[in-house]
A and B are shown apart, each in its own frame.
Chain A
Amino acid sequence: MQNLKFVSVTNIKKKPLPAWATGTIATPGGMVQIASTDLSRTDIWGMVKSRASAFRMNYIVTPGLYAVGKPTKDSDVFVTANYKMSFDVLRRELKGINAWVLVLDTNGINVWCAAGKGTFGTDELVKRIIEAKLDAVVTHRRIILPQLGAVGVSAGEVQKKTSFRVSFGPVDAKDIPAYVESGYKKTKEMSTAKFSMFDRMVLTPMEINPVMKKFPWFVAAILLIFGLQPSGILFAKAWYGGLPFLVLGLLAVFSGAFLTPVLLPFVPFRSFAIKGWLMGITMTFIATWLFNVFNIQNPLLLAVAFILFPALSSYIALQFTGSTTFTGMSGVKKELKFGIPMYIGAAGISLVLTILYKMKEWGLV
């Protein structure tokens, strides 16, 4: 075991520095890499990719201690997660500040989510403080955590175990310079999780993408339903009959995964299920009646359109509760208690009506 440890240490020394490191600094805890406070094009492109796809799943920084600027024994210690975007945002905001950055192993998950899971937690923080020999690196006994890390870290326990006193800094890394300048005082603004239209907008790709992965199944089902004839599957009929439904399906995804999140405070009611349903029925109404482009004449199909798609939009909008900064578990549970029976009901009724429509089409009833 001892031998293995030695080998891995020498390997680290031989490894080339990451692209964002500008050098190294010797500390009592070993060599520490100095992180640049400027983000490169690669770093920014990484942020964009992380916002849009599962690329984020392995976007990590090696946990441990890092330096920013030219930190001394008196410099502040900032703690973050080993999700590369969390690390990048922090070092960018530390421009002009000499500080230590302690990166916890959160399996590449951001601070808030990792704190919820407990990986950004008391035990991991205590372990990293000891491993980095932080008590020898700095003479003071203060560490600054992102406020949202408080979900997983008990400041009292950390102090008992390491003698370091935890200060929970601002929610947003961009407030760090102001926080430091004011003598580590937070304004109410700095300690509140904000959720601007822009914040909500950048989250929508991760709402749309998972749904669109399932969309081909919906396309296949719709084409099958409309194309299926006693004589076999007619492609022209599948396309002509199915197209309005495919467009309505896309609109339901758009209204549930994009419109509702972006317009969140402007859509009436507090329930996400109701917000999503309202946006869904509005979109369905606009598409079927106002423009009348799809020309769905059959009353059975029209009923399906107005039952199924608003419900779909509602269900998708409810998923956004996972991305907000203000929804709690008890509230979402309450929504699901009413929502799930409604969704199953809507899907069931739509299925029955569709079967009825096909039976009429085939002259069975």
Chain B
Amino acid sequence: MKYLKNVTTLEYSLEKCAGCGRCVEVCPQAVFVMRDKRAAITDKDLCMECGACAKNCDFGALAVNAGVGCAAAIITGMITGGEPSCDCSGSSGSCC
């Protein structure tokens, strides 16, 4: 299943890639494959902006504005003015 087109903030720099393969290992959406000893993006629209790749890229080749893709969290963030977070355990009793 794919979500909206052309919205992800994922950025990848081929020059910085050292070909370690961590991104392929951590991405839960199979956005990356190894091609010619470097990472390559298969389909950017598959990205769910979880941030695992950027967090585990030791060479700074990946950047993404990671966050929760959760409407309740984003609405709460809009109201309180903070960053959207999964902390909805207080009132609604549901989380993630």
Interface status of A325 (Cβ within 8 A of chain B)? yes
Q: State A152–B28 Cα separation when bound (angstroms).
A: 14
The contact of B72 among A167, A265, A322, by CB within 8 Å, is: A322
B51/A330 in contact, CB under 8 A = no
Q: State A334–B64 Cα separation when bound (angstroms).
A: 17
A331/B66 in contact, CB under 8 A = no
Looking across the interface, which residue of chain A has its beta carbon closest to that of B53?
A150
The contact of B30 among A112, A156, A191, A336, by CB within 8 Å, is: A191
- Which B residues between 24 and 61 are near A, CB-CB below 8 angstroms? 24-30, 46-52, 55-56, 58
Chain A contact surface mostly: helix
A153/B55 in contact, CB under 8 A = yes
Interface status of B62 (Cβ within 8 A of chain A)? no
A101-123 vs B, CB cutoff 8 Å, 1 = contact: the mask equals: 00000000110110111000000
Q: State A147–B26 Cα separation when bound (angstroms).
A: 6
A326/B70 in contact, CB under 8 A = no
Number of residues in A with C-beta < 8 Å to the partner?
57
Q: Please give the distance in Å from A83's CB to the nearest CB on chain B.
A: 11
Q: Please give the distance in Å from B6's CB to the nearest CB on chain A.
A: 9
Looking across the interface, which residue of chain A has its beta carbon closest to that of B95?
A113
A57/B28 in contact, CB under 8 A = no
A334/B70 in contact, CB under 8 A = no
Query: Which 5 pairs of residues, A with B, have the shortest CB-CB distance?
Result: A322-B70, A329-B67, A328-B49, A150-B26, A327-B69
8 more contacts with CB within 8 A, not counting A154-B56, A193-B29, A322-B94, are A53-B93, A57-B93, A321-B69, A326-B1, A326-B3, A329-B49, A330-B9, A336-B71
